[in-house]
Every structure is written in structure tokens, then in C-alpha cells.
Structure 1
Amino acid sequence: MTLVQMQSRPASSDLTRGTVVDVMEAGGPQVCDDMSVEVALSVMDAARTGRLVVCDLDGQCAGLVTQTELTAVRDSSASTDRVRLRDILCDHGSSVSPVTAAAEAEHTMRLLRLGAVPVVDEQGRALGVLALSR
């Protein structure tokens, strides 16, 4: 099964005040972790985005992948068409609650050098993405 779920984005994000839910992006496409790297790159290209929220078969957020990461895997000499997103997800623990103070989330993301993290509800479902501006 391959799931792709599209969501819209708000116009801007300001991490200086409010909570994460006030400043998060809707997240763009959400895909299932059984999707191949090549198909995920095609979804990114079609959606004109540089990242995807990855969910497991139960709809739980498994992580976030970027175009740079997927391109590196695809271009690797060890890559095959059988490599699935679940095989390459590195950091399953990086996510943020929608009720976290935006400034606190920004501080943590900068310390951990994360450009974006999934925003996850109490049931582990992805609500969107919190991204730092460059």
C-alpha cells in the first residue's frame, strides 16, 4: 500500500511567539513508509517540495525525509529499487507537540541542527511540519 496525502500550507511562520500549532506548516504530502525511494522522489517533484512526512501503515508518524537524503540514497552504489523509506529513516525520535512553545521548539531544533521536524499529536499522527527559516 502506498499512501500519499496532500495538505495546504499557511502563508508564513513566525517562531517568536505562540505555540507550534500557531506557526507550523500543514506539511505537504504525507507518504507511507513502504514507498520506494524512487517513487518518493517523484512525489516530491510533483508536489514541488523538498521534504516528505513519512507515516507507518497505522498512520503513525515515522519521521521526515528530505530530497537531499533521498537523492543520496538513490545515487548510492548499494541502492536498489527495493529500498523503502522505512529502510532509510534515521531519526524516529525528532518530532514536536503542537502545544510546545514555538520559541522553545526553535531553540531545540537549532541545538540539534534540524531544519524541520514533524508536528505530532498525542496519538502519534502527523499534523504538519515545523520548519526553521534560513
Structure 2
Amino acid sequence: MTLLQTLPRSASTSAMHRTAADAMVAAGPQVWDDMTVEVALSVMTAARTGHLVVCDQDGRYTDLVTRARLTAVRNGSAYTDRVRLRDIADVDGPFTSPLTTVAEAEHAMRHRRLAALPVVDEEGNTLGVLATGQWSE
């Protein structure tokens, strides 16, 4: 996993002082890494969300998967109905600290073209998610 550490770019004054903890929304559905891609897509559809937070057996954050990523895996030539989320995990998947400023997080998300960025504490627990455009005031 990659903790995003960036320098703030120009942003509104309120965004420069607000932290990820101030701006995050509920993480949404959290699933275990042994779930199959097909079941994860079903959960995503039922929850009407575009992403799922993936956790290990201890409940710690390991990845964030999107509908686009799961669909691409399912449509791939190597796909079988036994492919699990841990099999496609982005082990260096980005996340941020609750102390990161909104300006830093926004810059990192734009730079890496992320639609969502998990906010994870020092023990690996997912506290919430930042989504593009949610902190506009």
C-alpha cells in the first residue's frame, strides 16, 4: 500500500486547512479479500456504489476496487468464476492519512486520476473515503 505524501497546490483556504478526516464520507460497503469478483460486482450493484473497500481477515484495509476495474477483470481472457479480490489486489494501492489536508488529497487524486481515495488510520482501519468533488464549497 502507498500512503500518499504530497505537497499542497493552490486550493481554497478552507481546503488547505481541512483534513481528510474532516472531508471524508462513510467508506461504504467493506468486503473481504476472499470474495469473488462476481459476488463483489453483485454487492456493488445492490449497494448502488462505484467502489468497494477490500479488507483482509483482520478487517484491515488492503485495496479499493471500482466497478470499472472489476468489469475489466471479468471481461479478461484469464477470468474464471474463482478469481477472488485478493488475486487482483493492488498491493501498492493508494490511501491517505486522516491528517492529510484536503488540498494535498485533492492534488494527489487529480495527479493519479483517482475517483476515490480511502482514509486509513495507523492500524490499517478504513475510516472513510474521499471522492472527487465532494469537498467543493
TM-score (norm 1): 0.83
Amino acid at match of 2:103: A
Aligned to 1:108: 108
Whether 1:66 and 2:66 are equivalent positions in the alignment is yes
Runs of 4 or more above 3 Å deviation: 14-17
Distance 1:81 1:27 in 2: 26
Aligned partner of 1:48 in structure 2 is: 48
- Contact 1:41-1:70 at 8 Å conserved across structures: yes
Q: Which residue of 2 aligns with 1:24?
A: 24
> Structure 2 regions of 5+ residues with no counterpart?
1-13
Residue 120 of structure 2 corresponds to: 120
Who wins on radius of gyration, i.e. which is larger?
Answer: 2
The equivalent residue for 2:35 is: 35
Q: CA deviation at 1:54?
A: 0.4
| Backbone CA RMSD of aligned residues | 1.7
Distance 1:99 1:62 in 2: 19
Deviation for aligned residue 1:15:
4.8
Deviation string 1:23-47 (CA, Å, 9 cap, x unpaired) is: 1110110000000000000000100
> C-alpha separation between the residues in 2 aligned to 1:31 and 1:47?
12
Greater shift, 115-124 or 37-46, is seen at 115-124
Contact kept, 8 Å, 1:15 with 1:23, in 2: the verdict is no
Correspondence 1:85 to 2:46: no
The structure-2 alpha-carbon separation of the partners of 1:47 and 1:37, relative to structure 1 and needing over 3 Å to count, comes to same
Return closer, same or farther for 1:115/1:15 CA change in 2, 3 Å cut-off: farther
How many residue pairs get aligned? The number is: 121
What 5-or-longer segments of structure 1 have no aligned partner? 1-13
Cα gap change, 1:15 to 1:44, in 2 (>3 Å): farther
TM-aligned CA deviation for residue 116 of structure 1: 1.1
Code of the residue aligned with 1:30 in structure 2: it is Q
